[in-house]
Amino acid sequence: MPEKGMIKVTDGFERIVHWMLAGSCILLFITGLGMMYRELNFIGNLMGGLVALKYVHNFTGLLFIVSLVLAARMWWHEAGKFSMPEDLEWMMCAGGYLWHVEKVPEIGKYNPGQKMFFLTVIGCGALMGVTGLVMWFPVGLSLGFVRWMYPLHALGFVVFFAFFFVHLYLGTIGNPGTVMAMIDGWATKAWAKKQHPKWLKEMEESGKLEVYGEETKEAASH
């Protein structure tokens, strides 16, 4: 249960989509590596053999594509576009992550780093989704074209894999309190003031900020 005074950062649907995407990614990483490297073929044995492993990978890929489309539709407006000049100013000082900065430029709900991660997920996710479907259903396509899908699929995986672990670190150890926003949807106002100051101000001024134990100004006005 959240403590009194904590603010609502994400709703239930956002969290479901986030964990659908994260869970399918992890399973795709594991099953993909199990097929790619002979030394990791034992992963297939745990799932009933390499054929079963391939089916798990392919059908998890369908779940991944669905969650990717939902994520793109839900977060594109806030995370898919850069806002200048504040995002550029934030990038010039790396948001204060790499060296001490007296005053970090105020940005909206998502900082430029999160936006780059989001765009990477959408871009590489689309690449892996399309190449995966072609590899699964190569009917009517030339052999040369289908062969190109394998290195492109692997390229998408390498980039996605690297960004995934950076995101994991920044969402846990790197920024304490962040992970709870995607577990129960609540965070402290101090965390929001540090991570999303501009968004916090906008929500407070509009009366849409939901504070645990308090009625929103928007609801009170009706």
> Can you give the residue ranges of every domain in the chain?
7-220
Amino acid at 199: W
Tell me the C-alpha distance between 200 and 190, whole Å.
Answer: 10
Q: Cβ contacts of residue 50 below 8 Å, gap of 6+?
A: 34, 35, 41, 44
Nearest to 3 by CA among 129, 154, 165, 191: 191
CA distance 172 to 219: 33
CATH superfamily of 7-220: Transmembrane di-heme cytochromes, Chain C (1.20.950.20)
What are the beta bridge partners of residue 7?
187, 211
- On the question of pLDDT at 186 being above 70, the answer is yes
Distance CA 63, CA 163 (A): 20
Summarize the confidence of residues 204-222 as an average pLDDT: 73
Nearest by Cα to 83 from 204, 198, 175: 198
This prediction has a pTM of 0.86
pLDDT of residue 98: 67
Please give the Cα distance from 20 to 18 (Å, whole number).
6
Model pLDDT, residue 165: 84
- The predicted model gives 102-122 an average pLDDT of 84
pLDDT over 80 at 191, yes or no: yes
Q: Which of 181, 185, 171, 177 is nearest to 12 (CA)?
A: 185
pLDDT for position 218:
59
The token pair that represents 192 in the structure block: 């929001």
